[in-house]
Amino acid sequence: MNPLTVPPLMSGGLMLSYQCSSTCRHCLYRCSPKRENIWMDLEDVKRVFAALKRERLLHGIHLAGGEAALRFDYLLDVIRLAREMNIPLDYLETNASWCSDPDRSREKFRQLREAGLPAVLISCSLFHAEYIPYERTRIGIEAAQDVFGPGGVLVWQPWVMDILERLPNPQTTATWEEICAAAGWTTDAPQIPQSYGITPGGRAPQALRACYPLEPPEAFRHQICRRILESTAHFHIDPFGNLFTGLCPGIAPGRVGNLHPRITPEAFPAYWSLAEAGPFGLMQYARDAYGFEPDAAGYAGPCDLCQQVRAHLLDTAPEVHPELRPAEFYKDE
Ligand code: SF4
């Protein structure tokens, strides 16, 4: 069997922290205010940027969290560093929780632009509105458009604004029931994850469980994950330097220092198993070698099964599976 490796990186995000002002139900990286208050220090950011500069196909980097603007001056330093090092910075991803006042928001966006930020992505979803008053999202979008121009602001996803306009009180956070009612959906509607294109990984399989039909592991026996795991078109590097490819958090054979390791079944058995045999194959491996018992209730999707099997492997044999990191990703918060 020929070893695998991580292909050249193309475009991705630098997660400065798992700390967030929000605990969104759909968060793939399970960010939250309860996460440890750990941020990538500037020396490490410099190391990441230096490593990324060696990537011959890299054409874009965005800055993300958690919520990167929680440490605003530090964020300015990271942007300045990106400019100094000629990193192709695309945008900052923010949930706009800090945009409570139009003038102050404009001033902060101005500072970000002057530091070297070219554009902003503002998250707008049903899930954010449980933690962030919709009013702040609206203020953030308008203030960012004033500073960066309409072409410099991407709202993700804009159709949700029409729904959130119907909330009883946009100045405060809303309950999940109020948000679903504004959309015209019950809280278990399958349209909730479908309309937002949510991968049932991260927090979604638990927090939106009612919206998914649960299926047995056999239902996913035909999914093989090599192509997904080898996708570097939207990679992420977390504050610990772990490299996640293909929107698969919590599994990182590559790290800053060695972004393209030699991947063999001996070195990274969980990754190998997923690449060759998908989540069902990983489950068989975990059942045979480490006593994994599938949940009779079923799984919300292949990534739900994958994540639960990986959590079991990390619990029972962490030394055999160094690619399952960081450990805190697997804590249910
Ligand atoms: S099943 Fe696992 S490896 Fe495959 S796409 Fe989902 S999270 Fe990634």
Nearest residue (by CA) to ligand 1, atom 8, is 248
Q: Is the pLDDT of residue 55 over 90?
A: yes
Ligand 1 contacts CB of residue 237 (under 6 A): no
Nearest residue (by CA) to ligand 1, atom 4, is 225
Nearest residue (by CA) to ligand 1, atom 6, is 303
What average pLDDT does the segment 146-162 reach? 97
Q: What are phi and psi of 100, to 5 degrees?
A: -90, -15
Ligand 1 contacts CB of residue 228 (under 6 A): yes
Q: Is the pTM of this model over 0.95?
A: yes
Closest C-alpha to 223, from 239, 246, 205? 246
Confidence of residue 1 (pLDDT cuts 50, 70, 90): confident
How do beta strands 120-123 and 153-156 pair? parallel
- Provide DSSP, 256-310: TTBSS--B-TTT-HHHHHHHHHHHHHHHHHHHHHH-----TT-BSSHHHHHHHHH
Q: Which residue has the higher pLDDT, 193 or 331?
A: 193
Within 13 Å of residue 82, how many CA atoms lie on the same side as its CB?
26
Hey, is 196 helix, strand or coil?
helix
Q: CA triplet 120, 252, 64: central angle to 5 degrees?
A: 15
In whole angstroms, give the CA distance from residue 74 to residue 268.
35
Sheet hosting strand 153-156, strand order edge to edge: 153-156, 120-123, 89-94, 60-64, 11-15, 235-237, 243-244
In whole angstroms, give the CA distance from residue 97 to residue 288.
46
Q: Which CATH architecture has domain 11-213?
A: Alpha-Beta Barrel (3.20)
Ligand 1 contacts CB of residue 283 (under 6 A): no
- List, in order, residues 6 or more apart from 238 with CB less than 8 Å away: 15, 18, 29, 244, 249, 252, 326
Strand segments, DSSP code E, in the chain are 11-15, 60-64, 89-94, 120-123, 153-156, 235-237, 243-244
What separation in Å is there between the alpha carbon of 279 and the centre of ligand 1?
7
In whole angstroms, give the CA distance from residue 166 to residue 207.
23
What separation in Å is there between the alpha carbon of 240 and the centre of ligand 1?
21
Ligand 1 contacts CB of residue 217 (under 6 A): no
Q: Is the pLDDT of residue 24 over 90?
A: yes
Q: CA triplet 80, 84, 87: central angle to 5 degrees?
A: 90
Ligand 1 contacts CB of residue 193 (under 6 A): no
Q: Which atom of ligand 1 is nearest to the CA of 274?
A: 3
Beta-bridge mates of residue 91: 62
pLDDT in tens, 83-134: 999 999 999 999 999 999 999 999 999 999 999 999 999 999 999 999 999 9
Contact 246, 228 (CB under 8 A): yes
Q: Is the pLDDT of residue 297 over 80?
A: yes
Confidence of residue 331 (pLDDT cuts 50, 70, 90): confident
Ligand 1 contacts CB of residue 155 (under 6 A): no
Nearest residue (by CA) to ligand 1, atom 1, is 303
Q: Domain locations in the chain?
A: 11-213
What separation in Å is there between the alpha carbon of 302 and the centre of ligand 1?
7
In whole angstroms, give the CA distance from residue 20 to residue 37.
9
pLDDT in tens, 220-251: 999 999 999 999 999 999 999 999 999 999 99
Instruction: Supply 107's token pair.
Output: 């001033």
Give the mutation target among 4, 28, 236, 248 for probing the ligand 1 site: most ligand atoms within 8 A of CB. Answer: 248
Q: Is the pLDDT of residue 333 over 70?
A: no
In whole angstroms, give the CA distance from residue 216 to residue 213.
10
Residue 88 DSSP one-character state: -
What average pLDDT does the segment 296-316 reach? 98
Ligand 1 contacts CB of residue 306 (under 6 A): yes
